[in-house]
Structure 1
Amino acid sequence: MSAIASPTATASTRRPGLPREVLLLGACAILLALIAARFPGFVTPANLANVFNDTSILIVLALGQAAVILTRSIDLSVAANLALTGMVVSLLGAAHPDMPIVVLVLVALGLGLALGAFNGLLVWKLDIPPIVVTLGTLTIYRGMAFVLSGGAWVNSFQMSPAFLGLPRALILDIPVLSWIALAMIGLALVIFNRTSIGRAWFATGGNPVAALYAGIDPGRARFMAFCFSGTIAGLCGYLWVSRYAVAYVDVASGFELDVIAACVIGGVSIAGGIGSVGGTVLGALFLGIIKNALPVVNVSPFAQMAISGAIIIAAVLLNTRSERKAGRIILRNTTVLSGKPT
């Protein structure tokens, strides 16, 4: 029994050296300093607030994706979920301009939850690999958006002022979209760190067999993670189309890659069981700063893609190195706990 005592379990997620959050804060500060040397206006409080607002949807989606990745799964359909949900609420808003915004938001949340639950059920009950499931549903959800719209766009003149105004409304001179992102960060902190389902996500990704012996159903934990991710994607569906004032089939095409990149840069392990809300948020902000700064310094879109890809590879290498070191700590602690000499 001593071989599975709590110190060993604690060591499995402890990383040597500086925490990822500290490293990311330093990287963001260095990046901002380099940009400020050439364009001081970029680092003014007003512009940094705009950068946060521009990155808000990425932050929110990354928090949902982080829950899925923690369970050794992945959701490639988040952007397609966003596109389908955004199309549905746009069509509803265009057909019924007097429909209360709260109803449209609830529709977005409910539809996103249903789409996420569909992914989760296929993974849980049919034991299909998550990457296969979400590759399939990615296409299905995009196809459904095309069928519902007939390939047509829903433009700003078809949307009511209330529909368009919510993300742009100001509270204490800060857009509601930014407040929603902050609220989701707070909610994620509570769910990940203070609830049984959050602990189940970490346990499932860290060691599914041990989680099962501890009374946790890994399949159910993955299902709940997909539901969480889907609900968040549904909310972002409304936020996206109302902020950009347009809905079409290919909206947010490829955005799922940015979402996954934000998680990886933030230290969420693709192998599951390791990650944090703070790291995920900082990973998304790091990407947001790069995407806002590179056009300012006249970097071509193709070079931007290459830079983003290089950063992702570097983050994966850093994650792999950290996890390998954590594994060695587990072996040393296990040896000590078992009473055998090192």
Structure 2
Amino acid sequence: MLRREVVILKERKMIMLKKISKDDHRKYNFYNFKELGLVIFLVLLCIIFQLINPRFLTVENIKDLITNTAILSILAVGMMLVLVTRGIDLSIGATLALSGMTSALTVSKYQSLSPIVAILIGVMIGMVCGFIVGLLVAKAKILPIIASLGMMNVYRGLTYIISGGSWVSADQMPSSFKSIATSSILGINNLIFIAIIIYLFFYYFINYTRTGRQIYAVGSNPDSAIITGIKIDNVLLMVYTIMGLLAGLGGVLWVSKFASAQGDTATGYELTVIASCVLGGVSIAGGSGKIIGVILGSLLIGTLNNALPLIKVSSFWEQAIQGFVILIGILINVFVTRRARYNNLKRRALINGGE
């Protein structure tokens, strides 16, 4: 009799494991739906825009689209790390402007300065800005939105102060500096080339390093992260510094691309970067986000920015359409989060029921 009960329990356990396996498989497909859905949405948009204006899918326009999206996607990678830790950085537009202005003023005064040095100057300024925000969040325990909002105004003010309210024009910049964003490597525009390097580096960093996994652990469950020995303060300080670094790099690339440095450069750009992340499936509640997602989210916004003027949509409608798309992305994000939570609860119930 006892042997028969053991056999029955084993059979129930096998059935339960099969159910869990099927549930995990469905959940895996569901998670990938975010990226797949974004790809399908992009393809449909491209088809619609091409039907309206046949010039949209020309090789030249596609190159322009990807090039113009490169800086946005670079910043989105950094913002993804911040959002994954349940944070936010509203200062990146001002950090970008300050870094770009500092580099532009430096090269305008020292015309023979190497472009590499100009990039390093911008990156260092950005790192310092990000580090300060990180200190306020990690050490002073100030809410990320408050800390970054305050420093946004400080950095924007510093940009106007060091420039004296004036701007650096193209004729004040050496051609070597302007070529940073306009020249090519192996036939690929430098902006795209730099963006690809950053994608690959951070893809490896977050997926195959201990520190990268700690970032997700902090965002998923801070209390559990502390118990396992993760120093949350150091992780937060690191992600905000990385965000500042990428914003500093973006500032140099921005000024080089447009051959102009102004005090109001990239005003409000932080919202576009955040939108790219949200559209790419990065959870604003923390703990979830992929590099491929933020790239696709950036491409979606870049596609809208590129195509809407081509089909003669007014600037007012451009903002309305972008806002509508962002809202859809947020709703999808909320739906996916709730669905994932439901799947986890269901899986636990199956396991507990089989014990």
Fold shared per TM-score above 0.5: yes
Aligned position for 1:223? 237
Q: Return the alpha-carbon distance in structure 1 between the equivalents of residues 50 and 218 of structure 2.
A: 43
What residue number does 1:47 align with?
Answer: 61
Q: Verify the 8 A CA contact 1:266 1:281 in the aligned structure 2.
A: yes
Aligned residue in 2 for 1:323: 337
1:341 Cα deviation after fit: 6.2
Q: Deviations over 1:51-94 (max 9, x none)?
A: 00011100101111011000000000111000000010111111
Q: In 2, distance between residues paired with 1:59 and 1:216?
A: 29
Cα distance in 2, alignment partners of residues 341 and 323 from structure 1: 26
Corresponding position: 1:299 with 2:304: no
**From 255, 260, 279, the counterpart of 2:293:** 279
Describe the superposition over 1:287-332 as per-residue Cα deviations: whole angstroms up to 9, x where unpaired: 0001100011111111111111111111111111110011112212
Matches within 5 A, 1:253-268: 253-268=267-282
- Tell me the SS of whatever aligns to 1:250: coil
Could you say which residue in structure 2 is the equivalent of 1:107? 121
Q: Deviations over 1:236-262 (max 9, x none)?
A: 110001110111110011111110000
Gaps of 5+ in 2: 1-19
**Higher deviation after alignment, 17-26 or 193-202:** 17-26
Shift in CA distance, 141/327, structure 1 to aligned 2, threshold 3 Å: same
CA deviation digits over 1:198-233, x for unaligned, max 9?
111111111111111122122221111101110000
In the other structure, the counterpart of 2:176 is: 162
Does residue 242 in structure 1 map to residue 251 in structure 2? no
Q: Give, in whole Å, the separation in 1 of the partners of 2:224 and 2:29.
A: 21
Is the 1:15–1:326 contact (alpha carbons within 8 Å) kept by the matching residues of 2?
no
Distance 2:111 2:292 in 1: 39
Asked if the contact 1:51/1:288 (under 8 Å) is kept, the reply is: yes
- State the structure with more CA Rg: 2
Matches within 5 A, 1:1-342: 16=30, 18-337=32-351, 339-340=352-353
**SS class of match (2:30):** coil
User: Hey, what's the Cα distance between the residues in 2 that align with 1:229 and 1:159?
Assistant: 27
Q: 1:214 to 1:336 in 2, by over 3 A?
A: farther
Tell me, yes or no, if the aligned pair for 2:77 and 2:294 is still in contact at 8 Å: yes
Aligned partners of 1:15 and 1:325 also within 8 Å: no
Q: TM-score, normalised on structure 1?
A: 0.93
Q: CA RMSD in A?
A: 1.8
Q: Give the direction of change, closer, same or farther, for the CA distance of 1:17–1:223 in structure 2 (3 Å limit).
A: closer
Cα distance in 1 between the residues matched to 2:137 and 2:56: 44
Q: Distance in 2 between matches of 1:45 and 1:287?
A: 19
> After TM superposition, where is structure 1 displaced by more than 3 Å over at least 4 residues in a row?
none
Aligned residue type for 1:159: M
Separation of aligned partners in 2, 1:49 and 1:183? 18
Query: What amino acid is the match of 2:43?
Result: A
8 A Cα contact 2:31 2:336, kept in partner: no
Letter in 1 for 2:193: W
> Which deviations, in whole Å up to 9, do the C-alpha atoms of 1:108-167 show, x marking residues without a partner?
111111110110011011100000000000000000011111101111111001011121
Aligned-pair identity (%): 36
Cα pair distance change 1:89/1:186, threshold 3 Å? same
Q: Partners in 1 of 2:104 and 2:123 — Cα distance?
A: 14
Shift of 1:14: 5.3
Alignment check: 8 A CA contact 2:104 2:168 kept: yes
CA contact (8 A) 1:15 1:323 kept: no
CA distance, structure 1, for counterparts of residue 125 and residue 50 of structure 2: 43
Amino acid at match of 2:149: L
**TM-score with structure 2 length normalisation?**
0.90
* C-alpha distance in 1 between matches for 2:35 and 2:350: 30
Is the Cα contact below 8 Å between 1:52 and 1:178 reproduced in 2? yes
In the TM superposition, residue 335 of structure 1 has moved relative to its aligned partner by 2.6
For 2:273, give the aligned amino acid: V
For 2:153, the aligned partner's letter is: T
